[in-house]
A and B are shown apart, each in its own frame.
Chain A
């Protein structure tokens, strides 16, 4: 049910894989939980790749911040779904996000040094922008459980912070 909206949004953004659906077909809470958790896991994996590959102190410090914050958010998310007895449900958006991240990982794996740093940080800016857009326009408005909504709202503030932090690091790399 997400597919046609994904296609429309991809065309709109001129991005090869823009995984987020647009309104109309609202995701359910189990799907939202899965999407939010997946988005966090993918950024942790990207951070691990950067920590392993980059020699730039600022880039490595940023990646460690991402790893730490996203792990903290995801731990809260896991605690919440357990408490609410919600079983996160895999869905087309989570799958599209994962596929896009795998492609980005493969692209970054071919790069080294300054080229890697630049590509990683630029993708972090774009990725957080994309996730924040989806949180604001789709995931938060669609969430029906108040506690889930509140966690997503805190997540949005954290990730908006990450977006600004990534932009700052990107500026330093220039």
Chain B
């Protein structure tokens, strides 16, 4: 009995290790003509948001008092979400551009 449980332990550990990275997703947000699309993103801690900037203008994804991602013209930039919670973000250069991220634990 004891030996059998010990034999199974590495399997359990391996499955746990495999499960964690497989669950993290990359969510794409497109920026086209000063619009974040989709405007609202549902994510989990550990997921990555990738902003794909189609515009010839530089943008940012900025959370007031929080993170900021610089997104150069015609380039992409990403951020891995570290904390759970709902945040509003905007572009610091064009504050009329707004987005929202719901981060589940």
- Which residues of chain A have C-beta atoms less than 8 A from B33's C-beta? 153-154, 157
Task: Say yes or no: is A56 at the interface (Cβ < 8 Å to chain B).
Answer: no
A161: contacting residue among B56, B73, B91, CB under 8 A: B91
Residues of chain B touching chain A, judged by Cβ–Cβ distance below 8 Å, are 33-34, 56-58, 73, 91-97
Interface contact B58-A161, CB-CB below 8 Å: no
Give the A-B pair count, Cβ closer than 8 A: 39
Q: How many residues from A make CB contacts under 8 Å with B?
A: 16
Residues of chain A touching chain B, judged by Cβ–Cβ distance below 8 Å, are 65, 68-69, 72, 75-76, 153-154, 157-158, 160-162, 164-165, 168
Q: How far is the CA of A76 from the CA of B94 in the complex (A)?
A: 18
Query: What is the minimal beta-carbon distance from A117 to any residue of chain B, in angstroms?
Result: 19
- Which residues of chain A have C-beta atoms less than 8 A from B95's C-beta? 161, 164-165, 168
Query: What is the minimal beta-carbon distance from B71 to any residue of chain A, in angstroms?
Result: 14
Given contacts A69-B57, A72-B57, A75-B56, A154 and B96 within 8 Å (CB-CB): no
- Which residues of chain B have C-beta atoms less than 8 A from A65's C-beta? 93
The closest CB in chain A to the CB of B34 belongs to A157
